[in-house]
Structures are given as C-alpha cells and as structure tokens.
Amino acid sequence: MTDLTPAVDATGLCRRYGRRWALVDVSLRIEPARVVMVTGRNGSGKSTLLRVLSTAIRADAGVARVAGFDLRRQPQNVRARIALLSHPSYHYEALTAIENLQISARFLGRETRREALMPGLAEVGLADRADDAVGTFSAGMRKRLSLARTLLQSAAVVFLDEPYAQLDPPGFRLVDDLLATLRSRGTTVVMATHLVDRVRDLADDGIVLEEGRLQWSGRAADVARAGDEELPTHPGGDR
C-alpha cells in the first residue's frame, strides 16, 4: 500500500441478517495513517462494518478495497495486511497466555521464542500471568491478551471493535497507549466505540452510523457528545 492508496475505499456496502439490514449503501474512504472513530447507537452497524471490511463476513452488495486489495477477489491479500480485535477473544482456553501468543506468532511467521514474546505480555500487564491458562482469566485479562496479539501483527490497517470493553481504568489507558503506538507506526486504525468523549481527541476522523446507514462523517473533534440529539453539520458532510 503506497501513501496514495486509500486504506479503505468502499462503495454501496450492504449486509443483512435474515430480513434485517445491518448495513445499507455505506460508502466511505479512509486515507492511510488515520485513526478513525466509528460510533452510533447499539445495532447501528458498527461491528458489521468492521467485520465486512476485515473479511470476517461478506457484504451482500457493494464493493470495497482495503489496503489496496479487493475484498471479494483478493481476501487473502487483505487478511495479510490487517488485524482485527473483535468481541470474541478466540483464545485457546486450555493453553497459557504465552502459548497463545506463540501460536499467533507462528501463524504470522514471527519469532516464537518466549524471550521475544514476553515484552508484549509485559506491555499489556500480563507478564506475571504468562504461564497461567487463559481459562482462568477474567474478561479484562482476555482483552489484554487480545491487545498483545494485535500488537504482534505488522498490519497496515487495524480494526478495533469496542477495544475499551471489559477493561478497568488502567486498561483504558492501555488502549490509549496502543492507539499512540499504532499511530507512531503509520498504521491506519478503524475503531468502533461508544466512548465518544474519550476517543474524540485521540482520533483524526469520525463516522456515525444510524440503522446501518452512514449518517455523518467529518473530524472526530466534531462528533456529537454522547447523548446529544443533534449531530454537527459542516460543508460537504454526509448527514
């Protein structure tokens, strides 16, 4: 992906579950090295959008390119250049934290030695639990391990689905630091979150979904505060 290639370029994305449309004609363009906040009410389509763009599920209509590759025709190329932090952790419950990271590192073609992976666990506050089975972890600890796995990947585009969920205040600061780390790498971050007040100053751009439709886009600093009835308007806005 060159500096001129959009990180995400989507037109007319639609996705339905049974009779309910989760995404309706969503078109968007995200430039490289931007941190983008995707927000909206519960059921607005945030998670579905991230899952479609990360190839976890397929759109029923529309086209999109991520990191320069077509979602339908080149999904393997897309997957090689992205990382997805989703709601389910997908960890191996019977294995330890370090063993889970070693499996991820092996799939990614990265160094699997314990010495190489322990700094990643230390970064998310799990160094002292490296040899404990993940089945004994709390939801917040599982999220921390997922964050360590995300940092392990050298992705051009990172999708974060509610990264602050299940975390305590120190965990919130950990996610803030993760965003700063990814930004320093020049990584594009697309993050679904309800925490508008927290993320507004950490993101560059904002997207608001409502009932599966793109209701508004613009500067993250202009996204309405949580609980506001009206969204800001600006020239060329998508409301």
- Could you report the per-residue pLDDT of 119-162, keeping only the tens digit for each? 999 999 999 999 999 999 999 999 999 999 998 988 999 999 99
- Compute the residue count for the chain: 239
Given a contact cutoff of 8 angstroms between Cβ atoms, the answer to whether 128 and 105 are in contact is no
Of 55, 62, 79, 54, the residue nearest 21 (C-alpha) = 62
Q: How far apart are CA 133 and CA 124, in angstroms?
A: 16
Non-local (6+) Cβ contacts of 205 within 8 A are 30, 34, 35, 36, 37, 217, 218, 219, 220
Return the SS3 of 213.
Answer: strand
CA angle 131, 178, 137 (to 5 degrees): 30
Could you tell me which residue, 234 or 119, shows the higher pLDDT?
119
- Under a CB-based contact definition with an 8 Å cutoff, are residues 100 and 122 in contact? no
What pLDDT, in 10s, does the model give residues 87-119?
A: 888 999 999 999 999 999 999 999 999 999 999
Q: What Cα–Cα distance (Å) separates residue 115 from each residue in 101, 120, 186?
A: 12, 10, 26
Which secondary structure element, helix H or strand E, spans residue 63, and what is its range?
A: strand 61-66
CA angle 130, 199, 35 (to 5 degrees): 85
Residue 208 has pLDDT above 60, yes or no: yes
Given a contact cutoff of 8 angstroms between Cβ atoms, the answer to whether 206 and 194 are in contact is: no
Q: What number of H helices and E strands is found in the chain?
A: 7, 10
| Mean per-residue pLDDT of the chain | 92
Read off the pTM: 0.90
8 A C-beta contact, residue 162 and residue 192: yes
Judge whether 155 and 85 are in contact, CB under 8 Å: no
